[in-house]
Structure 1
Amino acid sequence: MDAVQLPKSWNVDHILNDLDQHGFAIIDHAYAAEYVHALADECTSHLNQFRDAAIQNGVVSNIRSDHILWINEELNTAQQHIQHLNALSNCMNQAFFLGIQEAEAHFACYNAGEFYALHRDNPQGKNGRIISTVYYLHEEWQEGWGGELRLQDKNDQWHIIAPKTNRIAIFQSDLLHEVLQAKHQRLSITAWLRSGNSIW
């Protein structure tokens, strides 16, 4: 088991139950305010390094228009979030025998007018992504600003998940989903919990 202590707001039993029943789970108030602020600072201070997002093998597609920055060991604040996801992966592996071995993640920025059309993160099970997560790190969000995650759960029910500050959405990577058009800058960390080395 990873030595990282999960925040108290991460109710593991509730997360595991929601994943089992619906294929997705939500964590609200995920981190202390100080960490949210530090993470937002780290993200915004690197915005000039973001690039157009690609869908596979560097191919830029018109199904998405966001901008990303892959998270490496130099982004120390974001790495803390990845460590927590790794610890959660251990819990999911024990509960569901998923075989998660690693996480890959990037910062994502959706400016006004940007979106990501309907897709699956692991189409036909071809890329090793098992669980997808989105952490909303902008320090303010208002209803009507767009950028919601629209997700079809494992029971074929549709859900609209608002990108509330300090919220994490966790879902099976094979579920159909989209990011609705943003009307205000929306910042997040997208991470995939994977079974092996990335081919993307």
Structure 2
Amino acid sequence: MEAVQLPASWSVDQILDDLDQHGFSIIDNAYDLTYVEQLIAECTDNLARFRDAAIQNGVVSNIRSDHILWLTEDLKISNQHVQTLHALGQELNRAFFLGIKDVEAHFAYYNAGEFYALHRDNPQGKNGRMISAVYYLHDQWQDDWGGELHLQDKNDQWHTLQPKPNRIAIFQSDLLHEVVKAKHQRLSITAWLRSDASLI
């Protein structure tokens, strides 16, 4: 497979510095708008395949109310994003020796009134998730539509990150975070860069 190059809009040095200093980083204008349109179309064309999200072992929990579709090889457009995250994982390995080996990802949508309560993606190092990456897929978003990512950084400072279109929030998977209740349909791709094989 040909090596994937990171988009020019991704400043690797800035990402590495942000993760080192704060445990999270933001990439705005992540992709070319033509690709963004293709991603949104692939997501919305497959909404009928989504299912209620579970937290582990297929158990649906009342701490979250979103709906997901795991990314598999038949979803060609979104898998380009996954391959880009693989390339980012190699940069993170060189800088931080994280041992990232794989990426797992799913589409997610939140309808109005849906949320994801405070949690960690890798509590006490219980799984192989090292870095979480949330890409905001909707084509527009207003500040009063809710759906923000509320995140506690590695210095115990809280941040409220707007789900702006074509933005990626990257953060350590052990950081405490939540998705504030949305007031409008919110689309994203959630991914985890793992130090073990993906479970999907």
Q: TM-score, normalised by structure 2?
A: 0.98
In structure 2, what is the Cα distance between the partners aligned to 1:46 and 1:183? 22
In structure 1, what is the Cα distance between the partners aligned to 2:199 and 2:143? 37
Please state how far the C-alpha of 1:3 moved relative to its aligned partner: 1.4
The equivalent residue for 1:189 is 189
Corresponding residue SS for 1:109: strand
Please state how far the C-alpha of 1:197 moved relative to its aligned partner: 2.3
Please state how far the C-alpha of 1:5 moved relative to its aligned partner: 1.1
Cα deviation code 1:85-138 (max 9, x no counterpart):
000000000000000000000000000000000000001111100000000011
Determine whether 1:54 maps to 2:54. Answer: yes
Q: Runs of at least 4 residues of structure 1 off by over 4 A?
A: none
The equivalent residue for 2:164 is 164
Please state how far the C-alpha of 1:198 moved relative to its aligned partner: 4.0
Cα deviation code 1:51-109 (max 9, x no counterpart):
00000000000000000000000000000000110000000000000000000000000
Please state how far the C-alpha of 1:13 moved relative to its aligned partner: 0.2
C-alpha RMSD over aligned residues = 1.0
In structure 2, what is the Cα distance between the partners aligned to 1:22 and 1:14? 12
> Would the aligned equivalents of 1:136 and 1:168 in 2 still touch at CA under 8 Å?
yes
Corresponding residue SS for 1:144: helix
- Give the length in aligned residue pairs: 199
In structure 1, what is the Cα distance between the partners aligned to 2:37 and 2:65? 26
Letter in 1 for 2:145: W
In structure 2, what is the Cα distance between the partners aligned to 1:5 and 1:123? 31
In structure 2, what is the Cα distance between the partners aligned to 1:103 and 1:4? 14
Corresponding residue SS for 2:155: coil
Q: Which runs of 5+ in 1 are unaligned?
A: none
In structure 1, what is the Cα distance between the partners aligned to 2:189 and 2:9? 18
Q: TM-score, normalised by structure 1?
A: 0.98
In structure 1, what is the Cα distance between the partners aligned to 2:76 and 2:199? 24
Letter in 1 for 2:109: C
Letter in 2 for 1:152: Q
Structure 1 residues 199 and 77, CA gap change in structure 2 (3 angstroms): closer
The equivalent residue for 2:32 is 32
Cα deviation code 1:137-159 (max 9, x no counterpart):
11111110110000000000000
Determine whether 1:11 maps to 2:8. Answer: no
Please state how far the C-alpha of 1:199 moved relative to its aligned partner: 5.1
